[in-house]
Amino acid sequence: MADHDIVVNDTVVIPGNEVSFRFSRSGGSGGQNVNKVNSRAELIWNAQESEVLSPPALRRLLHLGKRYVVGEGELHIASQSHREQLRNIETCKERLRDLVAKALIAPRKRKKTRPTKGSKLRRLRAKKQRSETKKGRKYRAGKDD
């Protein structure tokens, strides 16, 4: 495991050679450095071509991170919240780590259940009561004339 690898959990590690960074000038505060230093970091990872995730986890990742997806399964995660480039790099890695960790959690299958006898009765009583309320609103010609 290299220094640049991104460790998601015990079983999933994104190799550092699959991740690249692009840097640009950041907006916002920065004092005299704001127009000179490329502190904004953008992490680029082609999840589609990576073999780190299983196909179901990849589908969940592309769905969860759809705001970061550019093209065919390529994730672009940017950070410019810090003045230092290294801190922005770490923020990008942390966002990717969190996103992949969420994608690894498979949703639970729904257990089929049947409505109870009591719930059926309550539903039918409520329908009957609504029906009576609406019948009471009905104008009857000839009654009040």
**Share above pLDDT 90 across residues of the chain, in percent, rounded to a whole number:** 32
User: What pTM does this model have?
Assistant: 0.70
Which CATH number does 6-104 carry? 3.30.160.20
Cβ–Cβ < 8 Å for 13, 6: yes
Domain boundaries, the chain: 6-104
The pLDDT value recorded for residue 3 is: 64
Supply the pLDDT for residue 92.
92
Residues 6+ apart with CB under 8 A from 82: 39, 88, 91
Two structure tokens written together for 62: 């592309």
Q: What are phi and psi of 125, to 5 degrees?
A: -65, -40
- Structure tokens, 123: 């539903």
pLDDT digits (tens, 9 = 90+) for 57-90: 989 988 888 888 888 888 899 998 888 889 999 9
Per-residue pLDDT tens for 89-135? 999 999 998 999 999 998 999 999 999 999 999 999 999 999 999 98
Q: Tell me the mean pLDDT in the region 34-54.
A: 84
Phi, psi of 70 (to 5 degrees): -125, 125
Q: What phi and psi, each to the nearest 5 degrees, are found at residue 63?
A: -75, -45
d(CA 72, CA 121): 52
pLDDT tens for each residue of 11-37: 888 888 888 888 888 776 666 666 677
Asked if residue 14 lies in contact with residue 96, where contact means CB atoms within 8 angstroms, the answer is: yes
